[in-house]
Amino acid sequence: MDQDVDHHWFGFIYWSRDDQRLTVPKRYGWGRTLNFARPMAWFWILAVPAVASMTAYLSGR
């Protein structure tokens, strides 16, 4: 899958239903970004802050 196709990029957000990868290399700079067309990307967006919040809450008890 060619991730450099402009119609898959919306600013820094990558959205391609045809691309099965969860993460793709960023267009500029280094690192990776999520493929927001994949349902698992939304799970990570919600799960990581939830786990961090729960950890902070439980450690304060």
Instruction: With respect to residue 15, please indicate whether it lies within any of the assigned structural domains.
Output: yes
Whether 48 is in a domain gets the answer yes
The two tokens of residue 26 are 């960023």
* Residue 1: inside a domain: no
**Residue range 32-59: mean pLDDT, rounded:** 95
Q: Residue 59 has what pLDDT?
A: 93
Contacts of residue 49, defined as CB under 8 A and 6 or more positions apart, other chains included, come to none
What would the mean pLDDT of 20-49 be, rounded to a whole number? 94
Q: How many domains does the chain have?
A: 1
Q: Is residue 52 part of a domain?
A: yes
Residue 40 lies inside a defined structural domain of this protein: yes
C-alpha dist (Å) from residue 30 to 19, 24, 46: 20, 11, 24
Q: Is residue 35 helix, strand or coil?
A: strand
Supply the range of the domain harboring residue 22: 6-59
Domain contains 35: yes
| pLDDT tens-place string over residues 45-57 | 999 999 999 999 9
